[in-house]
Amino acid sequence: MALTWARNGAWALLVMAVGAGASYLLLVSKPAPVPESPPAMLPPVVDVVVASPSRRSLTVETQGTVRPLREIKLISQVGGRVESVSPGFAVGGFFAAGETLLQIEGIDYQFAISRAESQVAAARQRLAEERGRALQAKREWRDLGSEAANALFLRKPQIASAEAALRAAQADLDAALLDLKRTAIAVPFNGRVSAKEVDIGQYIAAGSVVASVYDTDVAQVRLPLTGRQVALLDLPLDYENTPTGAAGGAQVVLRARFANKMWEWQGRIVRTDASIDEDSRVVYAVAEIDKPFARLAGSERPPLSPGLFVSATISGRELSGLSLLPRSALLRNGVVMVVDDQQRVREREVQVLQSDPGQLWVQGLAAGERVIAREPALAVAGSQVTARTVTALAVGSP
């Protein structure tokens, strides 16, 4: 038994010795760690748009409401009963320039003319009598052997009074004739009745409003423009010594939806308002459209009636150095980021002329400059990047 225990202990010691030796060999023979460099960070990749400045004109989008060029209240200058009205004297009715819209009864004014003519005849008779007496007085004075005579004896004051009375009587006759002429109420332009206040058989007093009418030859639209939009246009700015609208103006296309269809009208800018709007700080340009109620041959286009809300596209003046960029290229107002020849990011100031949610037009970029199309997450001014060229339309498209 003792011998068996001795043998087992020897084997255990031997196994332990072999394990310790193997462990020692593993620890001693392990290779030393080799230092390694961390992998180099590659420059971030950014999408760039290559600037290609060109010369072109930009359009300006705005909107407004159609108004007539002239809109007046028609007032009777004489009183009387309305004897007749024209077929066009109705709300919405059209009339021609000089057409009689209302005829007021004129019998009273004809009586006045007769009385005035009688006064004129009486005044002429008196003047003839005074001139005859003056000639007689002059002969009598000459028969007395004297050439000098006073004015009263020669009846000069009486002649002057008679002449003045004749002029007054003639003026009364002219006034009576004018009153009779005014019984026919007309307007000196082609127009349309927007409201009427009287009708046939009604008595009206002098100074009464009989209707509201407006001009149908020309319509106008006041279009608000911001300072940026004004810079794109050739506006007919009116100076003190320049006739209004003498310089002409830009062409305008007006669009409006009517009867579930979109229609167009052509016009032009003719002037600007006399002042800048104090509340909105915008400039109002006035566009005029000729013959807004004319019907085009073969067209179903409706008339350009007052009150219609329209959108307007104004043709701009030609500008140089315009570059198209995606809207996302704008870092902040007037600043974009460009990639220089050393592949480093730089900030560049530009002048934004026009922008919309998808793209913008700017001035201030040289041909070939690479503009970062989107604001990068990692690239900042001075950092190095890898540029990848894209197109502005591809970036701006949804």
Given a cut of 80, whether residue 260 has pLDDT beyond it is: yes
Q: Which residues contact 319 (CB under 8 A, 6 or more apart)?
A: 55, 56, 57, 58, 232, 353, 363
Mean pLDDT for 109-127 is 92
Identity of the residue numbered 90: A
Residues 389/356, Cβ–Cβ less than 8 Å: no
Query: Domain range for residue 348?
Result: 45-56+321-396
Domain membership of residue 119 (yes or no) is yes
Compute the mean pLDDT over every residue in the chain, rounded to the nearest whole number: 83
Strand, coil or helix: 241: coil
pLDDT average, residue stretch 3-9: 55
Q: Of 290, 319, 348, which one is at a domain's C-terminal end? A: 319
Distance CA 327, CA 359 (A): 4
State the pairing for strand pair 209-215/191-196: antiparallel
How buried is 5 (Cβ within 10 angstroms: 0-12 exposed, 13-18 middle, 19+ buried)?
exposed
Mean local confidence (pLDDT), 98-102: 94
Closest listed residue to residue 314, CA positions, set 284, 287, 277, 276? 287
| pLDDT value of residue 92 | 92
pLDDT of 22 > 90? The answer is no
The confidence score (pLDDT) of residue 342 equals: 86
What does the buried/exposed string (b/e) look like for 370-382 if buried means 16 or more CB atoms within 10 Å of the residue's CB? bbbbeebeebeee
If pLDDT is split at 50, 70 and 90, which confidence band does 307 have?
A: very high
In terms of phi and psi (left: phi > 0; alpha: psi -120 to 50; beta: otherwise), the region of 3 is alpha
Q: Which residues pair with 258 in a beta bridge?
A: 261
Name residue 300's amino acid: E
Position 398 scores a pLDDT of 44
**Domain CATH number, residue 363:** 2.40.420.20
Q: Does 26 have pLDDT greater than 70?
A: no
Which residues are registered as beta bridge partners of 64? 310
- Indicate whether 310 pLDDT > 90: yes
Give me the mean pLDDT over the 150-167 stretch. Answer: 77
Please tell me whether residues 314 and 229 are part of one structural domain. yes
Structural domain count of the chain: 4
Q: Higher model confidence: residue 327 or residue 298?
A: 327
Record the pTM. 0.73
Over the stretch 160-219, which tens digit does the pLDDT of each residue have?
Answer: 888 898 999 999 999 999 999 999 999 999 999 999 999 999 999 999 999 999 999 999
Residue 273 lies in a domain: yes
